[in-house]
Structure 1
Amino acid sequence: MISLCKSSCEAMASSLPLLLLVLCSLSVAQCQLRLFNLRATGLPSDLLGTTDGYVKVFCGADTLGKTSVRNDNANPWWEEEFTYFKAQENEVMRLEVHDSDLLFDDLLGVCQRQLKLGTYEHDCYLEKGGTLHYTYTFG
């Protein structure tokens, strides 16, 4: 079976000329990205107390959304899952961890990952302290 996300148009040309015509007209094959199991440990406290954390999710130039805010929790877990159907291999997924405050939200750190086919679990160490853990499936 040929993986449409991974195979180039040239590789398919010799064995599937008709399919080649159709697929190459789409320019770049796109795949589904699924991001889930978002959790953090050891988020730092600020002057107002324990972190009120949330995560913003981006893929390439597109915003996929953000999680709910977990109030007063240095070790939050978010139930939200994010699915994106226009992702491309080697595109960058970016996760921004924020502390929600009354006037301005503080950016605690940014995690960036180049998308690869498969399922992966990652830990990302945040600039201002703490770790973001997440899982993604791409393909």
Structure 2
Amino acid sequence: MAVFDHLRLVSLVVLMLASQLDFSSAAVTLYDLHANNLSGDAAGNRPDPYLKIWCGGSYKETNFISNNANPQWSGSLIFSSCNQGDRLKIEVWDKDVKYDDHLGWYSGTVGTRSGNHVSFSVGSGAMFFSYNVK
């Protein structure tokens, strides 16, 4: 009888631990974020670009890269609450002293689980990124 009580207790603990796991959630990882030929301001200054990114209800912002029309953001950004089928939105901004300038944007649906490569126009330039879904 004691063996059955022990098994029942172990089963209860396993069920409690399993209930804390969220098997439906995934993680979207963005990487290789870079742009080419971004336009600066009307005075001819090169941009200080940065990105605002939304995915699955989460928001992240990159650092700005000073005086660079061809920026490359190192590392990757992980959106742990973003899943396949969720909306992914990226905005490209130019950092300024008073008011930042909106340069362009992308909006799309998170695709398959394998590597995805995306590019979109930003004025006369282009933005590129890749992502994986786990």
TM-score class, shorter-chain normalisation, is: 0.7 to 0.9
Counterpart of 2:90 (choices 68, 71, 95) is 95
- Runs of 4+ residues over 2 Å off in structure 1: none
Unaligned runs of 5+ in 2: 1-17
Q: Distance in 1 between matches of 2:125 and 2:83?
A: 29
2:121 partner letter: Y
- Counterpart secondary structure, 1:45: coil
Shift of 1:74: 0.6
2:35 partner letter: A
TM-score in terms of structure 2 length? 0.77
Shift of 1:114: 0.6
Q: Distance in 2 between matches of 1:33 and 1:115?
A: 8
Note if 1:52 corresponds to 2:48.
yes
Shift of 1:61: 2.8
Identity across matched positions, percent: 23
Please provide the CA RMSD for this pair: 2.0
Q: Distance in 2 between matches of 1:118 and 1:31?
A: 13
Tell me what 2:127 maps to. Answer: 132
Unaligned runs of 5+ in 1: 1-21
Q: 8 Å contact 1:38–1:133 — kept in the other structure?
A: yes
Tell me what 2:65 maps to. Answer: 70
TM-score in terms of structure 1 length? 0.74
Moved more, 96-105 or 82-91: 82-91
Deviations 1:95-132 (A, max 9, x none): 11000011111111111121122211111112x33111
Tell me what 2:114 maps to. Answer: 118
Deviations 1:35-60 (A, max 9, x none): 01100001012135101101111103
Q: 8 Å contact 1:108–1:129 — kept in the other structure?
A: no
Q: 8 Å contact 2:58–2:79 — kept in the other structure?
A: no
Larger radius of gyration: 2
- Counterpart secondary structure, 2:131: strand
